[in-house]
């Protein structure tokens, strides 16, 4: 059975810290994620390898066992050798009985096993097949993050996610995003986690929602926040300006005379609407100062400054 070189797969050296390993994993996982390469089997296989390498190297105990295996001689010059020259009776002291059987219960010999066989045999938490009859049933949850558009979080709807299990299998699931979902919200999909032992039910898939930024709006609960720019004259004399609404279109805002930069104007009921209630829209006033003025405008402003007692 060919032994994968997890360090090479992640592109890190043997002395890499957990932070370096995690950083390398996130970079590669994003590059080869099945969502970015639909129907690309080679990318899917690469993503599986990256996931399995990270599952071993991020875990202190699994990494120590893996390093002992490499030191024992499973890798020759150039790496990636087989188990043909290893005494499995000696390896039992390193890995225990679970290192000798695949999930199908077959004893290992050199060659003939895939990458996942190696991973499941040496690093899966499942017990050997011989012991499963006396092992209590156990559910295993999967935890993952999803990044969704701002509009979807606000309005709610369906979102497709791709999940890779410990065995490297990839599955696509439809997730119902509730209206008004906030960054950090947890969504549980029952029975979509890892299979349980024997005939027990599977664990759950627990997703943490990350909401992408919107180009015009920020959110706090059901309230929305946006910005508009006004000029100096509008700020001093007051004016009507237009602000964008989340559902489309514009709304006219009355800016009071003497409005200061940074002032928030509240538009009641124009925030997000969900079953939990209705939010408001807050518009922040920013001051835009002209950078170019013609001679007539300069003369007019100087006259205004003189009349108002403003030193220039």
- Split at pLDDT 50, 70, 90, the class of 118 is low
pLDDT tens-digit readout, 44-96: 889 888 988 898 899 888 888 888 877 764 443 334 433 433 333 333 343 34
Tell me 72's DSSP state: I
Mean pLDDT along residues 176-202? 84
DSSP 198-246: TTPPP--EEEEEEEPP-SS-EEETTEEEEEEEE-HHHHHH-EEEEEE-T
The C-alpha atoms of residue 31 and residue 42 are separated, in whole angstroms, by 13
Residue 235: the pLDDT is: 94
Report CA dihedral (148, 152, 158, 159) to the nearest 10 degrees.
-10
138 pLDDT above the threshold of 50: yes
Helices (H), 58-172: 60-69, 88-95, 115-122, 150-155
The C-alpha atoms of residue 178 and residue 152 are separated, in whole angstroms, by 9
Residue 102: the pLDDT is: 33
The C-alpha atoms of residue 106 and residue 112 are separated, in whole angstroms, by 12
Which domains are assigned to the chain? 6-134 (1.10.287.110), 142-211 (2.60.260.20), 218-295 (2.60.260.20)
Q: How far is Cα of residue 255 from the mean position of the Cα atoms in its chain?
A: 41
């Amino acid at each position: 059975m060919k032994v994968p070189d997890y360090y090479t797969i992640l592109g890190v050296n043997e002395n890499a810290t957990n932070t370096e390993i995690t950083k390398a994993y996130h970079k590669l996982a994003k590059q080869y994620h099945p969502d970015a390469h639909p129907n690309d089997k080679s990318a899917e296989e690469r993503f599986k390898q990256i996931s399995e390498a990270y599952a071993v190297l991020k875990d202190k105990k699994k990494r120590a066992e893996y390093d002992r295996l490499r030191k024992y001689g499973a890798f020759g010059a150039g790496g990636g050798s087989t188990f043909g020259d290893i005494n499995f009776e000696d390896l039992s002291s390193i890995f225990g009985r679970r290192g000798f059987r695949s999930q199908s219960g077959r004893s290992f010999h050199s060659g003939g096993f895939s990458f996942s066989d190696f991973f499941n045999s040496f690093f899966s938490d499942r017990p050997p097949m011989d012991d499963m009859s006396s092992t209590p049933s156990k559910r295993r949850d999967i935890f993952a993050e999803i990044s969704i558009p701002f509009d979807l979080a606000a309005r709610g709807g369906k979102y497709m996610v791709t999940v890779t299990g410990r065995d490297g299998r990839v599955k696509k699931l439809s997730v119902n995003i509730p209206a008004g979902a906030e960054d950090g919200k947890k969504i549980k999909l029952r029975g979509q986690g890892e299979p349980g032992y024997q005939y027990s039910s599977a664990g759950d898939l627990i997703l943490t929602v990350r909401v992408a930024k919107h180009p015009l709006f920020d959110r706090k609960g059901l309230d929305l926040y946006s910005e508009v720019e006004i000029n100096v004259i509008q700020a001093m004399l007051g004016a009507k300006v237009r602000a964008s609404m989340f559902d489309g279109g514009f709304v006219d805002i009355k800016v009071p005379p003497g409005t200061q930069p940074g002032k928030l104007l509240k538009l009641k009921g124009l925030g997000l609407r969900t079953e939990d209630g209705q939010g408001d829209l807050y518009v922040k006033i920013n001051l835009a100062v002209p950078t170019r003025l013609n001679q007539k405008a300069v003369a007019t402003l100087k006259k205004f400054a003189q009349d108002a007692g403003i030193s220039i």
